[in-house]
Amino acid sequence: MEHVEGTILAGRSFEPVRGRVVVEEGRIAAVEETETASTSIVLPAFVNAHTHVGDSVAKEGAVGLGLEDAVAPPDSLKHRRLTDADHETLVGEMHRTFRYMERTGTAAFLDFREFGVEGTRALREAAEGLDIEPFVFGSDDAAVLDVADGFGASGANDADFSALRAAVAERDRPFAIHAGEPDATDIHPALDLDPDLLVHMVHAEAEHLERVAEQAVPIAVCPRANLVLGVGRPPIETLLEYTDVALGTDNVMLNSPSMFREMAYTAKTFDVSATEVLRMATTAGAEAVGLDCGVVEPGRRAALLVLDGDSDNLSAVADPVEGVVRRASALDVERVVLP
């Protein structure tokens, strides 16, 4: 049994509780309100709802490039760099990205992995020896479902995914797809595929969001990546009126996979509360694919992020949720509990 003490951001509302989290065999047994001298802030570890970690071999390689030249399949700089990288380099750089994510408080991430079975196996290899949990949306064809957790489609304008969608449904795996990133033309076709997760939705309009609500499809947004690629500003405030919205960092070549940076940017750029941003960075991503983390409550996996509430950065913070979302950084991490 282990006790993690401090100010606990408990439950789905992240209500601050002074006390301790009781951990037994890797799960949260109780959240107890009790006196404690600890100045730590305890919250659920992050769930990064959209990544492309293969890009770890090309960090900042796309500076100044737009969407098509940077990341669009099959001939973008991203895909050329991935093709040119040898296996050892690719796996090694992904492993370093995973290690950074784990050390900065990420418990799990939802990755769109290129290059089919081979690409997914390389990602699994890169995660060996770490406690971070990859949820892999594989690519290319249905055979990838032998090694991946679901299927990730590039976009409805890129190919006809209807047969693949049926194959994924037969395997009872989630189907995710990019939509509404460069423009709105692929959103209705993406929704026609009855996806389990939509990514980006920068150009979503009311007619699309009514279908999103009707189909109960969660959305992963990546505002920093959208900014870098110049595709626009995701209407996060409006998206939240229709469905659950999760936060992702997208391509490693564009931005560091730091949920601290993604939260701070989102909180300071959009009219969204700090509580909602923290939910987007934890609970929403976990629930989008059924992961057993993202909330500090009894029965959940004890995936916890412990921050030094008395660090030079966080000391005298009036509201711990605001402090975590708007101010905290990797330097404030005291430890990460990932059973």
DSSP labels, 71-104: H-TTTSHHHHHHHHS-HHHHHHHHHHHHHHHHHT
Residue 311's Cβ-count burial label (10 Å; 0-12, 13-18, 19+) is: middle
Can you give the pLDDT at residue 138? 98
CA distance 196 to 183: 21
Token look-up 């404030």 returns 332
Q: Are residues 219 and 133 in the same domain?
A: yes
Report strand pairing: 2-10 vs 15-24.
antiparallel
297/17 Cα distance (integer angstroms): 12
Q: Are 288 and 23 in contact (CB under 8 A)?
A: no
pLDDT value of residue 115? 94
Helices (H) and strands (E) counted in the chain, each on its own, are 13, 15
Structure tokens at 169: 């449904």
The last residue of one of the domains, among 270, 289, 308, is 289
CATH number at residue 284: 3.20.20.140
- Regarding whether 84 and 40 lie in a shared domain, the answer is no
Whether 294 and 283 have beta carbons less than 8 Å apart is answered as yes
Asked if residue 152 and residue 39 are part of one domain, the reply reads no
131 class by beta-carbon count within 10 Å (0-12 exposed, 13-18 middle, 19+ buried): middle
Q: What integer pLDDT is reported at residue 82 of this predicted model?
A: 77
Spatial distance between the Cα atoms of 301 and 292, rounded to a whole number of angstroms: 6
Say yes or no: 266 and 128 in one domain: yes
The whole-angstrom separation of Cα 232 and Cα 180 is 10
- pLDDT for 267 equals 98
d(CA 195, CA 174): 8
CATH number of the domain bearing residue 326: 2.30.40.10
Q: What domain range is 172 assigned to?
A: 46-289
Q: Which residues are paired to 21 by β-bridges?
A: 4, 31
pLDDT at position 67 is 78
Task: Count up the domains in the chain and report the number.
Answer: 2
In total, the chain counts a number of residues equal to 339
Residues 318, 219 within the same domain:
no
Q: What is the pLDDT of residue 137?
A: 98
The confidence score (pLDDT) of residue 76 equals: 81
pLDDT of residue 74: 80
Q: Do 273 and 125 fall into the same domain?
A: yes
Same domain? 94 vs 71: yes
Residues linked to residue 32 through DSSP beta bridges, in sequence order:
20
pTM assigned to the model: 0.96
Mean pLDDT by 10-residue block, N- to C-terminus, for the chain (339 residues)? 96 97 98 97 98 92 76 79 88 98 98 97 98 98 97 97 97 98 98 98 98 98 96 98 98 96 98 98 98 98 98 98 98 97
CB of 37 closer than 8 Å to CB of 97 = no
**Does residue 51 share a domain with residue 35?**
no
Q: Give 3-state DSSP helix, strand, coil % of the chain, rounded to 5.
A: 35, 25, 40
- Evaluate whether 100 touches 108 at the Cβ level (below 8 Å): no
